Chains A and B, each alone.
Chain A
């Protein structure tokens, strides 16, 4: 049973296109996140949703729009893709409260913009 899943795993597209990455978690968590992995391999937060409500919105171009239809899903839509958007995008989820605030990560989506 996959805890946090992302589709697609790989996405290759042309500059200027609009694309979406889907994320689903079956852990019953209230909070979900999108991270972008930069060229040095570390993860940088983009967005965070708690129970479908946006709680973190870092400085991200407004071409990126997260959508949470329910608390188990957090999709990332990207308009007018640019070369610099090429990266691996990770979705994660966590449950607030408790001693540990462990985040569970999806497998990542490698986006390549040509």
Chain B
């Protein structure tokens, strides 16, 4: 069975500082995708960053980067230079080749001015 675990229900970071959100996953698939989604108060899922499991290089998108440790099945999200607009729920997700997607429980990120 595919599982995704986010062990931090809530986190806070000072504006302009760096924060890392943890995610571990378990899958028996050899080929899969990992995502971080942001959920603002309007509640839809917005993609933050995506990583293909066969790629060793960590994905980056502007201030967002991941630390993908395939052997450890770890996929953490680093947000640099945190901004007030980054405050949201963040969900880690794993999708296999059959498009079955499993989300973690989410981490609520607070940005302190």
Contacts and interface: CB of A to CB of B under 8 A. Distances in A.
Interface residues of A, number: 27
A100 B43 contact: no
Interface residues on B, range: 20 to 34
Q: Give the dominant DSSP class at B's interface.
A: strand
Interface of B: 9-10, 33, 35, 37, 39, 42-47, 50, 89, 91, 95, 99-101, 103, 105-106, 108
Contacts of B99: 37, 41, 88, 108, 110
Interface in A93-107: 94, 96, 99-103, 105, 107
B103 to A, nearest CB: 7
Contacts of A94: 43
Interface stretch (A42-50, A63-71, A77-85): A42-50
Nearest to A46: B44
Given A101-B89, A107-B100, A45 B45 contact: yes
